[in-house]
């Protein structure tokens, strides 16, 4: 049996999850009325995803915070144009990705490289995902160091792949978005998203292995 048969066979097994709109309508209504409490709620609910996408796209904490703040400002100012066809989070992702791309273009035009400045050591393994100090046993220093080193290599590999590839890797493999959401964010058809995603993954692993063998971060 050839590759095509296998590949076609597994096609049916995986299907895209449809983007389900949660009970966001009252919040959107309040946002459109410029209710300050609603805006606070929006920021509180989505700040982590927006900030983390920006951080992985730019690999710089200051720039990521700046862009993430800008994402919310843009969202506030253009909430009137939000058509409620997608979820608020999808809309915010799209703004975030576009602003990050613009920032990267800006640096490319100025021929200056965005300096990578993620503090890998601070807070690593001390905080859990919600930003709370973990009460669990702290891993031994050598394990912690290894984890930090691996993350550095992954981030370096992520930054070395093409921007369009990076965007897909972040949305799908880090943020775990559905293909429907990724299609809405990128404006690409499903087949293109999937084929590019595969190339992006192989490119990332090669970059990661290269960085590992060079010992460069």
Name the residues that contact another protein, by CB under 8 A: 1-4, 6-8, 10-11, 13-14, 34, 36, 39-40, 43-44, 47-48, 51-52, 55-56, 61, 65, 68-70, 72-73, 76-77, 118, 123-124, 127, 129-131, 150-151, 154-155, 157-158, 169, 173-174, 190-192, 194-202, 204-206, 208
Closest CA to 175 of 87, 62, 64, 48: 48
Residue nearer to another protein on the CB measure, 108 or 192 = 192
Alpha-carbon gap, residue 84 to 79, rounded angstroms:
10
Alpha-carbon gap, residue 9 to 126, rounded angstroms:
45
Minimum CB separation from another protein for residue 82, in Å? 16
Alpha-carbon gap, residue 196 to 172, rounded angstroms:
12
Minimum CB separation from another protein for residue 186, in Å? 15
Long-range CB contacts for residues 103-111, cutoff 8 Å, separation at least 24: 103/58, 103/63, 103/67, 104/57, 104/58, 104/163
Residue nearer to another protein on the CB measure, 11 or 110 = 11
Residue nearer to another protein on the CB measure, 21 or 199 = 199
Residue nearer to another protein on the CB measure, 108 or 195 = 195
């Amino acid at each position: 049996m050839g590759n095509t048969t296998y590949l076609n066979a597994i096609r049916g097994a995986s299907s895209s999850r449809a983007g389900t709109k949660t009970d966001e309508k009252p919040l959107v209504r309040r946002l459109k009325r410029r209710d300050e409490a609603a805006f606070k709620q929006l920021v509180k609910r989505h700040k982590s995803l927006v900030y983390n996408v920006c951080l992985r796209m730019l690999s710089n904490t200051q720039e990521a915070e700046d862009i993430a703040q800008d994402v919310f400002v843009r969202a506030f100012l253009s909430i009137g144009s939000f058509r409620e066809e997608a979820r608020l989070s999808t809309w915010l992702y799209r703004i975030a990705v576009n602003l990050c791309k613009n920032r990267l273009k800006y640096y490319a035009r100025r021929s200056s490289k965005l300096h990578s400045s993620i503090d890998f050591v601070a807070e690593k393994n001390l905080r859990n995902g919600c930003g709370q100090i973990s009460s669990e046993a702290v891993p031994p220093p050598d394990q912690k160091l290894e984890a930090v080193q691996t993350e550095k290599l992954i981030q370096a590999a992520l930054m070395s792949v093409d921007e369009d590839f990076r965007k897909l890797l972040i949305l799908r493999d880090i943020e775990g978005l559905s293909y429907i959401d990724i299609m809405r964010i990128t404006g690409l058809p499903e087949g293109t998203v999937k084929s590019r995603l595969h190339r992006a993954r192989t490119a990332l692993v090669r970059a990661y292995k290269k960085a590992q063998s060079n010992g460069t971060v």
